[in-house]
Amino acid sequence: MNQIELIEEQLQKLGFETRKIEDVGYIFNYNELNYLYMPDENDENFLRISVPQIYDVTDENRLGILNVVQDTNYAMKYIKAIVIGSDSVWLFYEYRLFSNEQLGDILEHMISALHAAYMIFQQKVNGEDEE
């Protein structure tokens, strides 16, 4: 079994129902958010999970959203908030896998950290102070 299959299997063991999206990866849901496991066929040890399209970017809100993206990146370790295609904000967590690691623990941390980043982003975009 290759690393991509192991990750998909581990996600299922954690209780997530994954669905394959051709040429993109595997989508699953947690706390009402869609997550996307995006395997790299050329580097099986590269693990990337994203929360896609969390906020629409328009000409009117672009500057404010870029500031929120920057603030979110500053507030969160391991997470990258990025404007993709100039029209939506995505969150990414990327990790280099090494042998003898607890894949389930890593995946749980990635998913929890992405959820926390989403909550911080939403608080910042709504002008609320996070605790």
Per residue in 75-112, pLDDT (tens digit) is: 999 999 999 988 999 999 999 998 878 999 999 999 99
* Per-residue pLDDT, 86: 83
CB 17, CB 8: distance < 8 Å: no
Spatial distance between the Cα atoms of 40 and 60, rounded to a whole number of angstroms:
35
Cβ count within 10 A of residue 19: 10
pLDDT tens profile 32-68: 999 999 999 899 889 999 999 999 999 999 999 999 9
The arithmetic mean of pLDDT across residues 24-30, rounded, is 95
Residue 130: is its pLDDT beyond 70?
Answer: no
Longest dimension (CA), the chain: 48
CB 7, CB 39: distance < 8 Å: yes
Name the 3-class secondary structure at 2: coil
Spatial distance between the Cα atoms of 50 and 79, rounded to a whole number of angstroms:
9
Task: Supply the pTM of this predicted model.
Answer: 0.92
* Per-residue pLDDT, 3: 85
